[in-house]
Chains A and B, each alone.
Chain A
């Protein structure tokens, strides 16, 4: 692809009539503490087209859409609607200026009817100022007729299936008659039949001259409905081209085409016996028939898009959500794990994906955060914590991991993300795990801390710890793993050896 297209786009910005585009995004930059989410990003949406946004997890698509929908404000750059620069400070602003977004999460109120949900804040009123329920129903009926949706407007949303709720969300967004409609993975909750229906709706919106921004991970969808495709990678705008000029291989290469320059301290260490063996593991409705062996000293990377079931597999092995089928053996013995405590009893540790939600005790100090898993195993006599011994262990661990802090009684919320993560890793290392499950071990932390954590993981593997490492960062997975297991929609689509795993092969298995 085509620098030429990119240049063409740039030229248009200067010379040609700006009204040519419904939506223009120019050099938008957005930073979050420690990360540049968007780095001088551009986007042009032509009227009457579907514009697909593609990129890996964390490429910046969702952040960009949130800026366009008024949820975030850009640090720099500008957004223009039909050639006019706009500042949207709330989602309401965006709606009023002609941008509607269909969210990935469902935002409907379950105890209200479909009609009430769609017209909320815009209810037709009677002369006396009451809600005119008849008009409400008729308006909804009209909208549904136009979209060919066959639902009773009086149904309460909680009685609808997830797919039907998604259709209501879509109808609601369309009811704003916006020029630009953002769809963030709208088909993830839909069955094939409804996807077909959605595509018909999209076609009629196109015919009305609207611009549709379509975020998806599904290649076939892109080639079925998209006119233009823009690719993002690591917060950067890579380029735009006509969908008809591309094929899926080219697209994948654009999405992953970074050079792996970061160094990974991967060392070849002796691989030992199988310590964890997972057979036909299932969790109803989430993932199916997961099979793998994990050996002492091995790092098994797990790749896949968010929502592919990676985290669920980890949580099931660890007993957070007990399996509904299949078996787990540890050191050759079949075990039943229903709680994290049981998993810990078998020498497992799980560093969870979301530090804030499931890891940290924000209002407690470093030692209190670090010692907690240890205390459920040891160092307690007659209920009393062996304070001096535990304190010594925590301090040593904190020094070994080079946690930067004024002291062990500093509240953990005052630490940077990287140091918080080190404390959480320390929490698990104190329990001397034989099987270490790491879910996004370096998410949202700075480069220095990242490298230290990578080094640490390698060192642990060298000591014979079996590591299962889930990561959305391709370089991390490829750089650290002995083997890479790829998941897609609740299935393992392949396990690649270090030699055969590269960005393209992994991405192909991940997006199928």
Chain B
């Protein structure tokens, strides 16, 4: 008890640096690590290759969209396990409205050659609906988010498969596939990140999100309709998963029921590596973006060095655990104060 104040004092200056700074340093460290290994092993640069830098972010843009959603969910003290499956369902629905009439076995022959916005909105709407169901279950039946979204994870994957009895949906319109071309997914990811960064920092929605996660009882007493707010947060997370599905189908040129398998875990990993606390109340989109890019950098780096994909997973697992250990450590240090 006597050294409580000491702890507080030593803690205070450390907190002046935003959490993101630490994570950014980790990102730099990983990049430099691969740069050095690149010169040693392959005699080539890792970083100074624009094409590779683009791919680093491009390949995780869709995971990044899910991560933006799940970050907000985790800040409220919840979890979303359904985003990968919701992505697949949204991709299927979007693709089914994006087929060209050249294709004789379209899912909806009467809905071919639709304007570009129709599949986009259909995919997003399906995602938002799934999120709305998650949120309503959590708010009104009081089942834990883990269970509600686990149910949605299984159900949405099943629906995605059932939609075409497992057949992929291909021959999509040029217009629609533009969404997945070149740097467009990266732009969509960064725009979504920007919008939700602003939303969390400067809107009432954001303030209520942090308050709900920081202390749900206090939030209720302060006049926040916590149930309604949770529905909003989960719906937005679903919407982002839907957008992820739209982009994924456009990028692949088809909708496939197996898309986004285990993406929800990568998304959670990106959020956690980015400093979002599973205890709720803490987390930022900037951190999540960096966390996402860390995942992308590791994938690129391992590929660049020609390291086995299996080993990539082994290391990724280690990084995720290390990030959570660091989070727990921060929590415990706080608890002592």
Contacts and interface: CB of A to CB of B under 8 A. Distances in A.
A421 to B, nearest CB: 13
Contacts of B315: none
A372 B207 contact: yes
A135 interface: no
Nearest to B282: A363
Interface string A362-390: 11100010011101110010011101000
A411 interface: yes
9 contacts: A33-B4, A344-B223, A357-B217, A358-B218, A359-B215, A361-B210, A361-B219, A376-B208, A376-B223
- Chain A interface mostly: mixed
Given A33-B4, A384-B203, A385-B204, A364 B224 contact: no
Given A375-B204, A383-B204, A368 B211 contact: yes
Given A360-B215, A375-B207, A414 B8 contact: yes
Given A361-B214, A371-B207, A413 B334 contact: yes
- Chain B interface mostly: helix
Given A31-B1, A385-B202, A413-B337, A339 B215 contact: no
A362 B215 contact: yes
A350 B221 contact: yes
Interface centre among A359, A363, A376 (most CB of B within 10 A): A363
Interface in B1-19: 1, 4, 8, 11-12, 15
B225 A339 contact: yes
Pairs A-B, 9 closest by C-beta atoms: A361-B214, A376-B223, A358-B217, A341-B223, A373-B222, A363-B281, A383-B203, A344-B223, A372-B222
A380 B207 CA distance: 11
A130 interface: no
Interface in B299-337: 334, 337
A411 B282 CA distance: 12
A31 B219 CA distance: 32
Interface residues of B, number: 31
A350 B222 CA distance: 9
B281 A373 contact: no
A491 B214 CA distance: 35
B42 interface: no
A340 interface: yes
Contacts of B224: 341, 372, 376
Interface of B: 1, 4, 8, 11-12, 15, 199, 202-205, 207-208, 210-211, 214-215, 217-225, 277, 281-282, 334, 337
A414 B202 contact: no
Contacts of B334: 362-363, 413
Contact of A341 (B1, B225, B281): B225
Interface centre among B215, B221, B281, B337 (most CB of A within 10 A): B221
B220 A363 contact: no
Contacts of A352: 218, 221
B1 to A, nearest CB: 6
Contacts of A350: 221
A393 interface: no
A359 B217 CA distance: 8
Nearest to B7: A414
A384 B222 contact: no
Nearest to A371: B207
Contact of A361 (B1, B15, B281): B281
Nearest to B337: A413
A380 B8 CA distance: 34
Given A340-B220, A341-B225, A352-B221, A385 B11 contact: no
Interface in A375-424: 375-377, 380, 383-385, 387, 411, 413-414
B197 to A, nearest CB: 14
B4 A361 contact: no
A427 interface: yes
B207 A385 contact: yes
Contacts of B211: 361, 364, 368, 372
Nearest to B12: A414
Given A33-B4, A361-B214, A368-B207, A377 B221 contact: no
